[in-house]
Amino acid sequence: MNLPGYQNMAKSCISLILFFSVILSHGVVELQASNPFYRNLYTSQSTSTSQPYRTGYHFQPPKNWMNDPNGPMIYKGIYHLFYQYNPKGAVWGNIVWGHSTSTDLINWTPHDAAIYPTQPSDINGCWSGSATMLPGGKPAILYTGIDPDNKQVQNLAVPKNLSDSYLREWVKSPRNPLMAPTATNHINASFFRDPTTAWLGPDKRWRVIIGSQTKDKGLAFLYRSKDFVYWTKAKHPLHSENHSGMWECPDFFPVSTNSRKGVDTSIIGLNTKHVLKASVGKIPHDCYIIGTYNVTADKFIPEEGSMNGVSALTYDYGKFYASKTFFDIAKNRRILLGWINESSTQEDDIKKGWSGLQAIPRGLWLDKSGKQLVQWPIPEVEKLRAKKVNLSSKLLRGKSLLPADVEISFEITKFEKAEVLDPNWTNPQLLCSQKGASVKGALGPFGLLVLASKNLKEYTAVFFRIFKNKNKYAVLMCSDQNRSSLNNDNDKTTYGAFLDVDPVHETLSLRSLIDHSIVESFGGGGKACITARVYPTLAIDDEAHLYAFNYGTEKINVTSLSAWSMKTAQIN
Ligand SMILES: *[C@@H]1O[C@H](CO)[C@@H](O)[C@H](O)[C@H]1NC(C)=O
Ligand SMILES: *[C@@H]1O[C@H](CO)[C@@H](O)[C@H](O)[C@H]1NC(C)=O
Ligand SMILES: *[C@@H]1O[C@H](CO)[C@@H](O)[C@H](O)[C@H]1NC(C)=O
Ligand SMILES: *[C@@H]1O[C@H](CO)[C@@H](O)[C@H](O)[C@H]1NC(C)=O
Ligand SMILES: *[C@@H]1O[C@H](CO)[C@@H](O)[C@H](O)[C@H]1NC(C)=O
Ligand SMILES: *[C@@H]1O[C@H](CO)[C@@H](O)[C@H](O)[C@H]1NC(C)=O
Ligand SMILES: *[C@@H]1O[C@H](CO)[C@@H](O)[C@H](O)[C@H]1NC(C)=O
Ligand SMILES: *[C@@H]1O[C@H](CO)[C@@H](O)[C@H](O)[C@H]1NC(C)=O
Ligand SMILES: *[C@@H]1O[C@H](CO)[C@@H](O)[C@H](O)[C@H]1NC(C)=O
């Protein structure tokens, strides 16, 4: 099974060129586009050679550490993103709320830190939280503070000046903390954090949940309030699950059962289901359960699924954590933001002076099956698309394509040779790591090699394999980082997911957003997402190439392929 990847991969690409030539008039497998546009932003910070991993269109602060997105909202037509930020360095610590605003969720203007330690209730850190729109369109932020005893408590902050659409200054409630572990409420002060956006019940009481764990049980404590200031803990948590560990950054929101449109967080009932998401630290993944919400009993009733284990539904099967949604009332959609961690060593993070990205904001809705969510990059990102690669044009040969947005669709007509799915292969990540891109199969691996050096010494492979599974076919989607860098200090874990697409009747599509050190991939129109961080040493800037490949024995048709180079977004 241990085929040396590089030689064989090169051959497989050549065989695919021949195959492509049947389909496309000139059969250019290597997609190229000249790219005079990007890289003008951080010139004072860095040159591209010293900072090859800074992004062109993914959100990041000019320097230092960033983790969770906080309090996303739209206020007076301006989008706000706050984020966990260390003003003093490239590793976690000294946490305050960084703040940027935008009119399109792609280009961002920086502001001063919005929330930082000033009160006893947050003197040791201002951790994650969420924004809620109170009646009259007044935003309020609930966030976790770390008090002088290092206890986790919940605090309230409101804008100082509601006429300032940039919401630059925030005032904290003199009543903080509003929720705290006590001798009687059985809350462990080390596990009590990340309040959600609150929702209003028909009884005119606000509800909010806060992530926790008792022993190994993950849970979401529920609090209620009439005035947003005095909060009472409910007897029962909204939901809990044995052995799932700490639930960080919970999120709880309705989704429409008959439309892709988003719905406001306080909508309950008719034509909606509810989603409960938790960032499960021990995986670490953002897992979610679809169910219904009984507001009378204040209980979440899962339809099926769990927060843990290989069958848990997950927003993104790669690096993506501590995410949060908000309802974008301007465009009637629910938007998902998520933190993309580094895969490099802390030592390397300190050297480059920064750590952490935000994913491209994703629209999120319930799949028509009702059994899972679908995510797709917001259309605003397409405004950055510059030169479209012309597959039939030889003019573009010899140039690189970075950053890029690539969409490819495949068609399979002959399934007879598909490998049989072993009943043991229930863990897609494990299966992808056993059957990486260099392991030849029948139907697959086929897909994209991105951030590839010309000689294929480096590449990140995002691909599919199709297996026969009883009377149906199972589609495995993988992101294989094994050859992503000659630097072996990086975390090169292979990621994988089963994709709920029927390849007999449906198009099998893949989209990848490629941006220097991040590859965000969407399979099946967003039914499975995998984000990877990679740090090529050869495939940087003009040396980063893109290939389509098929390393299976069976032929696969490419029915469409579009690739764009991307302009640089104005980010901070
Ligand atoms: C509030 O913000 C508005 C708009 O930026 C500004 O004109 C006004 O002076 C501010 N008021 C105060 C008291 O700072
Ligand atoms: C809180 O959890 C920690 C870690 O599991 C444990 O050591 C500690 O005893 C717990 N505290 C309480 C009050 O239960
Ligand atoms: C969770 O664990 C408790 C005891 O630790 C047990 O009583 C309960 O039945 C378990 N719940 C489930 C759903 O397994
Ligand atoms: C919601 O919970 C209440 C109280 O437990 C119960 O009476 C009611 O039947 C439940 N509603 C639904 C739709 O299940
Ligand atoms: C972030 O990435 C580092 C380096 O790969 C890893 O050690 C750490 O566990 C990651 N943290 C999370 C929350 O994913
Ligand atoms: C793309 O190819 C078509 C036909 O081969 C050609 O007419 C067109 O000019 C090409 N576009 C670019 C941008 O090269
Ligand atoms: C590819 O497309 C051609 C033309 O539509 C078709 O004849 C052929 O069977 C297809 N091959 C595969 C493997 O789908
Ligand atoms: C299936 O699982 C069993 C038990 O973990 C293991 O012994 C066996 O090798 C596995 N078989 C395959 C084909 O992976
Ligand atoms: C990763 O590549 C090495 C050789 O560089 C190979 O020995 C190993 O099997 C590969 N692992 C996977 C999971 O593909």
pLDDT of residue 561: 87
By most ligand atoms within 8 Å of CB, the mutation choice from 491, 494, 534 for ligand 5 is 491
Q: What is the mean pLDDT of residues 100-129?
A: 98
pLDDT tens digits for range 522-540: 999 999 999 999 999 999 9
- 391-421, pLDDT tens digit by residue? 643 333 334 567 899 999 999 999 999 999 9
Residue 485 C-alpha to ligand 6 middle, in angstroms? 34
Q: What integer is the mean pLDDT of 465-475?
A: 97
Q: Is 422 in the pocket of ligand 8 (CB under 6 A)?
A: yes
Quick check: pTM over 0.85? yes
Task: Answer yes or no: is the C-beta of 369 below 6 A from any ligand 1 atom.
Answer: no
Let me know: does 234 contact 222? Beta carbons within 8 Å.
yes
Residue predicted with more confidence, 7 or 472: 472
Confidence of residue 13 (pLDDT cuts 50, 70, 90): very low
Q: What tokens were used for 453?
A: 């050096």
For residue 545, give the H/E element and its range. strand 545-550
Q: Which domains does the chain have, with CATH numbers?
A: 2-25+386-566 (2.60.120.560), 64-341 (2.115.10.20)
In one-letter notation, the amino acid at residue 2 is N
pLDDT interval class at 18 (50, 70, 90): very low
Query: pLDDT > 70: what percent of the chain?
Result: 89
Mutating to test ligand 1, I would choose from 161, 162, 170 the residue with most ligand atoms within 8 A of its C-beta, which is: 161
Report whether pLDDT(149) > 90: yes
124 pLDDT higher than 60: yes
The predicted model gives 123-152 an average pLDDT of 98
Q: Identify the pLDDT of residue 541.
A: 86
CA separation for the pair 541, 45 (Å, rounded): 17
Q: What 3-state DSSP class applies to 481?
A: coil
pLDDT score, position 389: 76
Residue 321 has pLDDT above 50, yes or no: yes
Q: Compute the average pLDDT of residues 38-64.
A: 69
Nearest to 559 by CA among 413, 341, 346, 427: 413
Q: Is 2 in the pocket of ligand 1 (CB under 6 A)?
A: no
User: How many angstroms from the chain centroid is the CA of residue 83?
Assistant: 15
Express each pLDDT in 87-96 by its tens digit: 999 999 999 9
What is the DSSP code string of 180-245?
---SSS---TTSEE-----EE-TTS-EEEEEEEEETTEEEEEEEEESSSSS-EE-SS-SEEETT--
Which numbered ligand comes closest to the C-alpha of 152? 2
Q: Which residue among 68, 251, 349, 515 is the active-site one?
A: 68
Q: Span 195-209, mean pLDDT?
A: 98
**Would you say residue 4 has pLDDT above 90?**
no
Judge contact between 355 and 340, C-beta under 8 A. no
CB 410 within 8 A of CB 458: no
**What is the pLDDT, as a whole number, of residue 5?**
31
- The verdict on whether 542 is a catalytic residue reads no
Q: Which two tokens stand for residue 486?
A: 């000659």
Decide: 555 in ligand 7 pocket, CB within 6 A: yes
The reply to whether omega before 69 is within 30° of 0 (cis) is: no
User: Is the shortest distance between the CB of 164 and ligand 1 below 6 Å?
Assistant: yes
Q: How far apart are CA 126 and CA 95, in angstroms?
A: 6
Rounded to an integer, what distance in angstroms lies between the CA atom of residue 556 and that of residue 444? 8
Ligand 6 atom index nearest CA of 390: 1
Mutate to test the pocket of ligand 5, among 248, 341, 344 (most ligand atoms within 8 A of CB): 341
Q: For the chain, what is the mean pLDDT?
A: 90
pLDDT of residue 94: 97
Report the candidate in 57, 60, 55, 85 with the shortest Cα–Cα distance to residue 70. 85
Nearest ligand to the CA atom of 565: 6
- 331-365: pLDDT as tens digits: 999 999 999 999 999 999 999 999 999 999 999 99
Q: Whose CA is nearest to atom 8 of ligand 6?
A: 393
Residues 207-245: tens digit of each pLDDT = 999 999 999 999 999 999 999 999 999 999 999 999 999
Q: Which of 7-16, 46-55, 276-285, 551-560 has the lowest mean pLDDT?
A: 7-16
Residue closest to 134 by CA, chosen among 65, 59, 219, 75:
75
Using the predicted structure, report yes or no on whether residue 77 has a pLDDT greater than 60.
yes
How many Å lie between the centroid of ligand 4 and the Cα of residue 202? Answer: 14
- How many angstroms does the Cα of residue 203 sit away from the middle of ligand 4? 15
Query: Quick one: which of 318, 283, 284 has its CA closest to 460?
Result: 318
- Say what the pLDDT of residue 391 is: 60
For residue 286, pLDDT over 80 is answered with yes
Residue located nearest, by CA, to atom 7 of ligand 9: 2
131 DSSP β-pair partners: 141
Span 41-59, mean pLDDT? 68
Which pLDDT score is estimated for 22? 24
